[in-house]
Amino acid sequence: MSETKRTAAVVGAGLAGASAALGLLDAGFAVTLYSDKDQKTLRDGVPATGTAIYFGKPSQDADAEIIENLYGADTFASGYSFRIYGGDGPVLEFDPEIVHFLTQSIDVRKRTDDRLTRFIARGGNFVVEPVTLDKLDLIAAQADLTLIATGKYGLTDLFPIDETRTVYKTVQRQLLTVQLSGLDYGPDSFGYRSLGGGKHDHLNAHTEFGEIFVGPLVHKDTANGWVILGFAFPDKEWAQRFDTATDAASTRQVFLDIFRDYFPEDLAEVEKLQLIPTDSHAWLKGAVIPSVRKAVGFTRSGKPVAAIGDAAIIFDPIAGQGAQNVSIQIAALLRSVRSHKGAFTAEWIAQQFDLHWENHGFGATEVTRLFLGDPKYAAHLELLFPAAAVSTKVARAVFRLLSEPSLLKKIQTREEVEGYITQAAGESAADILARFEPVKQFSRREAI
């Protein structure tokens, strides 16, 4: 006699919801995925909410437990060109090849749509209707496991803020982003910054105003896509400029003006990036307060439901930890689901999230604090980045923290930071830092 097939409901068809629904379906569940938008609208009628960037093997291997890489080996960036500017101009730079943990940026709408397509093709039940609290009560009563991947229609209120794990009470950066095209990924694109050219990500950080990231991205519609992500200190001059953006064209112009005024070395290359005619939604502005919520909620009749993805942890996007967190959380949850034979109780849900928090979530929030310049990490900023400007091995170790953020849990004191530098470089941190000098102007590689 065969066992009764277990059932699951997933509410919210973004990256987290689509990933969880597909994974549960492949784990043998009968799965219903709920969305307030149909598949075409989710792909073509919503803003470009992110790059779904995965830094290195941990997130990429976790994602492979859900779905194989659909985008080819040539979609990976192989390095990270980093420059810091101060009020008086250049401060430091480094540009390591990081081939042992390649990064991959995919338009989140494309990554999500591909999972949704496979979910439906494999027999998943995709229901297009809003899920209110009353509707959720009925859904959860009929499912063995219910996952919430959205905060719409009052669902956020099911998961209170976890004050013990939430650091910030206010917005740390205002966000502006646009997806463009017009440059290939060859050595001549941004080639003056490094041999990696268009296969490298590029970040300019200004100590007074914020940061701007420019990098290759697999766009949902077109080849050779790129993304510009701006992170502005609230109430500062860049934030005021961000407020003037009203569509993709004006967003592009905001960035061109910032590059003209603050990063003129890159202006000619950024000007080559053009609007994507098929995508009027290729831009977004906004802000979030980084926060962690309780992972267990209860419907009105008392049925436990679980928060996943942004419904559980909201990251400031500066360190690119959101999509990584999704892949690692969902993969771990699926492993536990497959081996679990009993009911999916509130205690079980809480235990799974606590394990995820310990293994990854906490580290991801902390590395985000580091890249936000949080005072907790003053020693790291003082030591790591100057050392990275001297030693390519240290530069790689800095970006390894984006790929393996839990490493940061063991690098908290000044002595531990110095030890991390020494271990990475193979020589003492003191010797490396003694060789650091602020740059007077950024290097420029001439064409061969």
Place of tokens 């990554």: 111
For residues 128 and 303, what is the distance between their CA atoms, to the nearest angstrom?
23
Amino acid sitting at position 132: T
What pLDDT does residue 447 have? Answer: 52
Helix (H) or strand (E) holding 147: strand 145-148
DSSP 54: E
d(CA 113, CA 415): 46
Return left, alpha or beta for 32; rule: phi > 0 is left, psi -120 to 50 is alpha, else beta. Answer: beta
AA identity, residue 71: Y
Q: How far is CA 309 from CA 135, 188, 240, in A?
A: 21, 38, 30
Question: Shortest CA distance to 404 belongs to which of 328, 312, 332, 315?
Answer: 328
CB–CB of 31/21 below 8 Å? yes
Provide the token pair at 184.
């290939």
Any idea how long the chain is?
A: 448
Report residue 14 as tokens: 């973004």
* 373 burial via Cβ count (<10 Å: 0-12, 13-18, 19+): middle
Which 8-state DSSP code applies to residue 101?
Answer: G
Which positions ≥6 away from 233 have C-beta within 8 Å? 173, 174, 208, 209, 210, 239
| C-alpha torsion sign, points 127, 132, 134, 137 | positive
Q: Which of 21, 90, 77 is nearest to 442 (CA)?
A: 90
Contact present, 148 and 8 (Cβ < 8 Å):
no
**First-residue to last-residue Cα distance in the chain:** 72
Query: Would you say 251 and 283 are in contact if contact means Cβ atoms under 8 Å apart?
Result: yes
Residues of the chain with pLDDT under 70: 1-3, 447-448
| Strand residues in 338-433 grouped as ranges (E) | none
pLDDT at 1: 36
Per-residue pLDDT, 340: 96
Q: Strand pairing of 210-217 and 145-148?
A: unpaired
CA atoms within 13 A of residue 334's CA, in its CB half-sphere: 25
Strands in 308-424 per DSSP E = 313-314
How much is the pTM?
0.95
Instruction: Tell me the C-alpha distance between 77 and 216, whole Å.
Output: 7
Count Cβ atoms within 10 A of the Cβ of residue 441 and give its class: 0-12 exposed, 13-18 middle, 19 or more buried.
Answer: exposed
- Tell me the H-state helices in 288-341: 322-339
In the beta sheet, which residues pair with residue 84? 92, 205
Per-residue confidence (pLDDT) for residue 101, from 0 to 100: 72
- Report pLDDT for 3: 65
